[in-house]
Amino acid sequence: MNPSRVRFALQKHVPLIKFLGPRSKLRKELVDSIPKPHPTAPKGQRLITINGAIYQKLVIEHSDLPEKYKRKALSFEEIETIDSGGASLIR
Q: Is 40 inside any structural domain?
A: yes
Q: Is 30 inside any structural domain?
A: yes
Distance CA 53, CA 26 (A): 10
* Structural domains in the chain (count): 1
Whole-model pTM: value is 0.28
Which range of residues forms the domain containing residue 29?
A: 12-62
How far is CA 18 from each of CA 4, 11, 14, 22, rounded to the nearest angstrom?
A: 26, 19, 10, 12
Q: Is 29 inside any structural domain?
A: yes
pLDDT tens column, 74-88: 999 888 888 888 666
DSSP E strands in the chain: the ranges are: 45-50, 53-58
- Report whether 58 contacts 45 (CB < 8 A): yes
Distance CA 4, CA 59 (A): 58
Query: What is the band of 11 on the pLDDT scale with cuts at 50, 70, 90?
Result: confident
Q: Is 75 inside any structural domain?
A: no
3 state DSSP class of 53: strand
